[in-house]
A and B are shown apart, each in its own frame.
Chain A
Amino acid sequence: MNSKTEHIKEPLFHITKRDQMIWYKQWIIRTIAILAALVVSGIVIMVLTKYNPLKVYAEMFKGSFGSSRKTWILLQNLAMLLCISLAVTPAFKMKFWNLGAEGQVLVGGLASAACMFYFKDSLPNAVLILIMLVGSIAAGIIWGVIPALFKAKWNTNESLFTLMMNYIAIQLVSFFIMVWVPSGSSVMGVINQSSEAGWLPIVFDQKYFLNILIVALLTAAMFVYLKYSKQGYEISVVGESQNTARYIGIDVKKVIIRTMVISGGVCGLAGFLLVSGTNHTISKELAGGMGFTAIMVSWLAKFNPVLMVITSFLIVFLQRGAGEIATAFRLNESVADILTGIILFFIIGCEFFINYKINFKKHKEVK
């Protein structure tokens, strides 16, 4: 070092990566971020709508917890978003960008709907439901594994491939609805409305209970699979570095394909739950964008299935709240979307301060 460097102006601040921050500090930062987001949203609400932000927040809360029905809807929506998030997680952890969850859910749902439409009540309900379940999972697997095969064999770009598979799935659904509904209205309506064939049974007098239970079990299973199984370990190694994986003798191609079988299969299961358990119909909007929202849920929770319960709760809570304030204050839902955007921005942004440290010019490091 010579004297020249002394003349170079030291920047106002520079950024360094932090060591793992202690957990309670992380949560303090996250809490501050949420509070800051609420303050900023509050200002936006006041400027845009002239309403009292506290009233708006109270109404938002009512959207999720205002009645037992609203709470059940919240839990049902949470379960479905969580299910699809669980599906994309192994793929993303492996750094396989599965943007095709939307399509995988759709074909899963389509398989279930097809079984309901063609078998009607000719089979005992338990058998029919079993066939639908298997069919949906198989359809999801096929939709997920095609891009994986191409990736493993020819190293094609999986983001584009999975994305484009979505459009094929959408067109397939449109096609079958056209075949099944000759009137041309393109509305399937409730399938088997009178016989209820192929409908998941109502347990404990609650339509959504079975959906929620299945997803809860799935969450636990996915947590164990990713954290404690050998295959889960292989997924993280492949995700970190394919070369390392090869070096220690992991068959990368096999892991890619196997993981996408799981990812697609769980998406297919989500399609089954949406058709058999929730909607009893099929439409292009079955997944309703959840295939993409799920990616955010998964990333926000750092691919931890248990944390994903919280992140999907957050998103669904915001969505339900958004709908509620749109009705209560006669606002367009776009206003509510702005609030959701602000809150997510702060939450994602605060991760920066958890992972990185800002060092100011005359800051003396104290360790």
Chain B
Amino acid sequence: MKKRLVVIGAGMASGRVLEHLLDHDPQGWDVTLFNAEPRGNYNRIMLSPVLSGEKTYEEIVTHDDAWYADRGVTCRFGESIVRIDRARRIVYSNEGGAPYDKLLIATGSAPFIIPVPGKDLPGVVTYRDLDDTNAMIAASANAGGKAVVIGGGLLGLEAAAGLKLRGMDVTVIHLMGHLMERQLDPAAGYLLQKDLEARGIAVHCKGATKAILGADRVEAVLLEDGTVYDADLVCMAVGIRPETRLATDAALEVARGVVVNDHMVTSDPDILAVGECVEHDSQLFGLVAPLYDQAKVVANGLLGQDAKFRPVQTATKLKVTGVDLFSAGDFADAEGREDIVFRDPARGVYKRLVIEQDRLIGAVMYGDTGDGSWFFGLIKDGTDITDMRDTLIFGPAYQGGTGADPLAAVAALPLDAEICGCNGICKGTIVTAIEGGATTLADIKAQTKASASCGTCTGLVEQVLASTLGDAFQMPAAQPMCGCTDLTHEDVRRLIKARELKSMPAVMQELGWKTSCGCHVCRPALNFYLLADWPEDYTDDAQSRFVNERNHANIQKDGTYSVVPRMWGGMTNPRELRAIADAADKYDIPAVKVTGGQRIDLLGVQKEDLPAIWSDLNAAGLVSGHAYSKGLRTVKTCVGTDFCRFGTQDSTGLGIKLEKRLWGSWTPHKVKLAVSGCPRNCAEATCKDVGIICVDSGYEIGVGGAAGMDLKEVERLAKVATEQDAIDMTVAFVQLYREHAKYLDRPYKWLAKVGLDWVQAQIVDDAENRAALIERFDLSQTIYQRDPWAERATPQAHQAFGPLADLTKEAAE
């Protein structure tokens, strides 16, 4: 007598089980196949080509009616299972029962729906089966429709690409910092985003969906950051979870999925489970390769053969035509692991191999994945790669050869290529000078003016010298930014601007960073360069900032912090002083000190008290003094004409105006200003980054002073007649410094490199450029002039400053 097998769910895994089972034992089983969808097995992986129109449904059917009929499979499609009666071994659907000897649960997974308002509006779809696909195809019929895909993982990106091919305007919203973060590292995610954007798909990373808006049907998607995207169709593809309801109701052991042993048997020996609904060894499965392995184990088990499921490494490829990416194995950083990274920015190629104990354990590739399966083979086989290590990254076809000539790029430049932007000097002019006898950088500067101004092209000029003179030129050892790159700060700044690099992964990829995510030296510098050059495009990264700027307070040697409210131009009043005194009492502040910048420092505040003390001070109208930042610190003033019998101008008023204009701006290093009302200079303006001395006939503006490690008197930038001119010159100077200086160079150090002449030419002599600098500064301020205290007044922020957990009350065992 035939044994009765009932299968719940006609997916890819159960389809494969039936193939194995009925091929090997065509007479042994009486199979009943239930499927809630009114159709049989089809290749779900190929839904993407169906969506994009590259294939039809008929082409992706794996088992047609004839296949089931030939094998005597009873198909009950369109019936939902309501109950499993384990005691009597009967499965009940909404239309009747079916007895079993063995039951196979293959219920797959359900799409995860983010619980936001509007999730049930018509026009919101998931991407799981043919009906979803058809709904999306129908929605894309209106030309020029707008689609928002929530989720930048495999499925979401395939949906986005398909909808784009169908002619929709597509935006992808992704919660994490880069696309496909489970399969790709940030560098590869960046390249993927760039490719998708080049195809016209907009990508919004770090975007949390707050609500789906619409009256009768979906109209738009609102993000937590306030961004709104119009939408005629919203596809949620944020993930899946195992469909375990039947198993749970039947009291089988269920964790995240239906728990199975190595034989794919559940806690009931007559019930097996396979596919995306199972959990094996605490692991869930979503890719097809392990599901097929499971199917084989299930079939073998039913055939009475011993077989055990052992999950193997899986590789990922994105099925978007023309996007070439591959990832396999484990590519997390860990002790004892080494990276081999290869980047070819010009071709958009990134390859990273992760090696542990002379074996390849992970690989991520983008742009050129031809060797993917070879690397995957090495990972699966655990091949010892010691002998091929030097050339491993080049793949199996590596034929030997020498490393790329670092000067090749410069040597290949045409003679009319511009080298020095400040002075408009092209390569030909420099080469002519070299042929005329110039042999050093100083010669070139003197004869052509190249690199004689802002100096960021110095490296290029040296490379022209090297490639023209050959061995006769001794390349000076440039100081690289850090161990992650051979480029200098100046090179990196120049390239960020020239190549419009607008994110940290973009910089690291395009400039060939040697580490996967930088270090404590380069990350803060890059964060500043990016936010200074691309205020509208770049998102400030708190985790790439030093502790003081992340916590908006100055860390002290004992781990406590100091809190300094801003006192505009050094002015205060009884109300502010009372609020400060109250805060000092309330939070038990151990020390209160007057600073050199004319304000009051509360020292010794505990980190978890910071948001509360800020909130109290905010309530009295006080804002952060940024006493911790690489940014505007203070504008020190004297009392000026208001009270002083020697004062020539309203120095206090000018100081306050400057502070109100400049506060909140980030700069390469700290910036301190002062305004003195007369040449007696009570505000000590002659040793500040910008110091203004008021005189009867106007304002003398000095720049590049210092009274720290070095003592330096300011140099005269200009003398101007009006207060407005003084403000304009100051703002333009600060912006020029923001745009050109090396991170952690105070203005005086930067000035020594570029020269006062150049700065004057930019700001004083060129009114148009001055206005442009001011405009760029003001644009940046619209984004960055925010009081960090007020921004951290939320309960979430309060929580983030406290401990994650407090176990001091727990007893030891």
Asked whether A and B interact, the reply is no
**Chain A residues proximal to chain B, CB less than 8 Å:** none
